[in-house]
Structure 1
Amino acid sequence: MARIEARGRLCTPVSQSRSPFLRHPLLLAPLLALAAPACAQPAPAQDADPALWVVKDDDTTIYLFGTIHVLKPGLSWFDEAVKTAFDDSQTLVLEMVEPDAATQQKVVGAKAFAPDAAPLTQRIQPKYRTTFTQAIGKTGLPATMYDKMRPWFAAVSLSVLPVQELGYQPQNGPEAVLTQAARAAGKPVEGLETFEGQLSIFDALSDKAQVQLLESTLDELPTAATTMQKMVADWSKGDPDALAKDMNETLKDSPEVARALLTERNKRWAGWIAQRMTQPGTVFVAVGAGHLAGPESVQSMLGQYKLKAVRVKY
């Protein structure tokens, strides 16, 4: 996961890892801002046409754009229909607006560590302890630090750094690009959630669900590159159904996690969109692509408000 202490790290050897968090880039959003910069080489531009939807009435237009929070450089997605929709919008809305570093550190310190809890190495099943110790060793951080983490934070911590070492970076992701473009154009940037609110969703998971999440992460530590490449390929060609299928493969194993991190948030965001439709104007909403795919997507939940999201053609 994104660790505060990891700031300023130089390039480290690539480790092959994967976890439910890698299958679900939407779950990385709360903590990617804390991650270390990696050394990425420039890549030739490749055309990408990610999915875009629009909800509109006589005086209100809301675009829904699904993102991959971390990308390698070289994908030309901010053009054509996406750029046109963004340029037409007066406001950018993201899952959250990143707070300053001091706020991040304060929130993470309060939410992500449990100094009085039993060490994580004692809370996971014995069969995972060797793998856990080995995974920690690859991070270059002391095992005692991981032992004091809450299980969800340890799971994310072991997931994010390898992804970044593969060249996937938040500064290349749509949120960073869109935020920079919005600020350059003088457009307000709003968040559907706060940084603390997002971390609280993870922290509110039951201890059982958190430990299962960590063990699931340890189970899937060999294939980060393949997983990320497939999801980015599905996203680039605008195939939300394929993306949803891959993401739902993991979430179905943990109904509590799926409900907290996906379903309940989609319900809240659909309600926000319905309320925003009562005000005139044009808004560009960018959230993790997993929220805009599958049977419990934001678009599906808009149906209860008698609203319909229409796919925008390129």
Structure 2
Amino acid sequence: MHVKILKPIFFLFISLTLVACQSETEVDFPDQQLEEAIRAELDQTEDELYLSDVRDLKSLNLSGEAIENLEGIEALESIEEINLTDNEITNIDPLTTLPELREVKLTGNPLEDEAITTLEESGVAVVFEAEQVGLPDGPGGFLWKVENGDTTVYLQGTVHLGEPDLFPMHEKIEQAYVESDVVVPEIDLFNLDMAEMNQLQMELGTFQDGTTLEDHLPEDTYGEVKAFFEGKGFPMAVIDTYKPWLVSTMVSQLMVQELGFTEGVDMYFLSKAKADDKEVIALETARDQLGIFADLSMDYQVQLLEESLIDIDTYEKDLRQLIDIYKTGNVDELLDVLFETDAAMSVEEEAYMEALNDNRNYGMAEEITKFLESGEEKTYFVIVGSLHLILEPHVVSILEDEGYEVEHIH
């Protein structure tokens, strides 16, 4: 009789244990990064996670774990402090269900202020500093925006050289970049085939008729060129093979380097695009641009070279003035400094400006129109020299003539 009673009691204990095991609640974290981070804190890398495993946790450090989704964190009923800095969390609603939560660190997550306020109103102390994109009073302007359906195109005027205090730029410019899916420069400088570039330079920039640079320059001009390059360690035997337009660009580049100017706005955003793995689509090719100079008459090439041979102090003063104006975003002032309104251009100067500005602007606008008419839900960040957006006929006015509404953002 005694045994018969013990057996049912023994079985009952076994049954209750089994029932308890069967009724133990499993915790589910849809975000694998969140689950792995919690497992690491618990030192439990295998087996299922149950409510009993996590319900007594008081504090967690889950910073920098690439967490996006907090769903499932409601199971941490006793949690008082959580460090969630430097993740990718966009929704913090699950945190509002934690009855014992007293403090949470959320800096470095892409969160809206409204969500932070809601959490604070529930009695939680929140540490949150939004990632700053650009500067509220940062440098730069020349930013336009045009939309068509789901497609957005930002047009950002650039300067091709800079100095450290040019970056980061104004918050509206930096935000336009952040929003973009595709960065669109004049040329993708990170995707140039150097062997092809060298061949192109040989084809378009060197004499192929047996003549030399000295044969085409006035004696005094050649003397200045010789003094300039030999002073920098360049053998004239090499320079003599180059056409004046190429020598002119070399003079300018060497002075820019000597003066210590840094990369321009184009390279700044292209470098960011490369780091952020954004798609890059170029508007032009190197041949397109170099061909403009190669097609100039020899007389006009010589004129450009002579104009480039200026005193380096004067050159520095002029460049810094242009960069300072660029920082303010003043369109009219930039045009006034670059162009004398009363000065008449020669026929060759007009042809040069037409090739350098007008024709290219129509070509750029044509490519931008293709983006706008693609029907794709994408945002493009076009970065081209500022004159392409302000010197008539410029890209902005061409797009407006085609019926697009272009808004000057900054």
TM-score range, shorter chain: 0.7 to 0.9
> What are the residue-to-residue correspondences of 1:281-292 with 2, within 5 Å?
281-292=378-389
What code does the residue aligned with 1:290 have? L
Correspondence 1:85 to 2:180: no
Greater shift in the superposed pair: 265-274 or 88-97: 265-274
Match of 2:386, as an amino acid?
Answer: A
- Where does structure 2 lack aligned partners over 5 or more consecutive residues? 1-136
Task: Please tell me the residue identity of whatever aligns with 2:229.
Answer: I
Q: Kindly indicate whether the alpha-carbon contact (under 8 Å) linking 1:209 and 1:257 is maintained by their aligned counterparts in 2.
A: no
Partner of 1:274: 369
Alignment deviations for residues 203-223 of structure 1 (CA, whole Å, 9 cap, x no partner): 122223222222222367661
CA contact (8 A) 2:143 2:173 kept: yes
Q: Please tell me whether residue 116 in structure 1 is matched to residue 209 in structure 2.
A: yes
Is residue 2:394 matched to residue 1:297? Answer: yes
* 1:256 aligned residue (348, 351, 358): 351
CA distance in 2, matches of 1:163, 1:135: 14
Aligned to 2:303: 212
TM-score (norm 1): 0.77
Q: Does 1:131 align with 2:228?
A: no
Task: Verify the 8 A CA contact 1:209 1:256 in the aligned structure 2.
Answer: no
Does the 8 Å CA contact 1:68/1:232 hold for their aligned counterparts?
Answer: yes
Report the Cα offset of residue 159 of structure 1: 1.1
User: Match for 2:333 among 242, 245, 256?
Assistant: 242
- Paired residue type of 1:181: K
Task: Name the TM-score, length of structure 2 as normaliser.
Answer: 0.60
SS in 2 for 1:265: helix
Is the Cα contact below 8 Å between 2:138 and 2:171 reproduced in 1? no
CA distance in 2, matches of 1:222, 1:301: 38
User: Is 1:143 equivalent to 2:236 in the alignment?
Assistant: yes
1:62 aligns with 2:159: no
2:283 paired residue number = 192
Amino acid at match of 1:51: F
Residues 358 and 392 in structure 2, CA contact (< 8 A), matched pair in contact too: no
What SS does the aligned partner of 2:283 have? strand
- Does the Cα contact within 8 Å between 2:138 and 2:170 map onto a contact in 1? no
- Aligned-partner Cα distance in 2 for 1:104–1:84: 34
The answer for the alignment partner of 1:308 in structure 2 is 405
In the TM superposition, what is the alpha-carbon distance from 1:283 to its structure 2 partner? 0.5
Q: Give the distance between the partners of 2:300 and 2:368, measured in 1 at CA.
A: 30
Given that residues 138 and 169 in structure 2 are in contact (C-alpha distance below 8 angstroms), is that contact kept between their aligned partners in structure 1? no
2:253 is aligned with what amino acid?
V
Q: Distance in 2 between matches of 1:187 and 1:307?
A: 26
Letter aligned with residue 136 of structure 1: F
Corresponding residue for 1:52? 143
Between 1 and 2, higher relative CO (CA 8 Å, sep ≥ 6) is seen in 1
The correspondence for 1:105, drawn from 176, 180, 198, is: 198
Work out whether residues 365 and 399 of structure 2, in 8 Å CA contact, stay in contact via their aligned partners in 1.
Answer: yes
Corresponding residue number in structure 2 for 1:176 = 267
Structure 1 residue 225, shift from structure 2 partner: 0.7
- Structure 1: 5+ residue runs without aligned partners? 1-45
Partner of 2:116: none
Match of 1:233 among 306, 324, 327: 324
* 1:205-251 superposed Cα distances (whole Å, 9 cap, x missing partner): 22232222222223676611111101100111111222223333499
Change (3 A) 1:287 1:117: farther
Q: Which has the greater radius of gyration?
A: 2
Farther-moved stretch of structure 1 (87-96 vs 77-86): 77-86
1:24-54 per-position Cα deviation (integer Å, ceiling 9, x unaligned): xxxxxxxxxxxxxxxxxxxxxx931322111
Instruction: Give identity over the alignment, percent.
Output: 29
Corresponding residue pairs, total = 266
Matched residue type, 2:392: P
| Distance change (3 Å), C-alpha of 1:207 and 1:117 | farther
Q: 1:82 to 1:109 in 2, by over 3 A?
A: same
Q: Deviations over 1:184-207 (max 9, x none)?
A: 322111110112222222212222
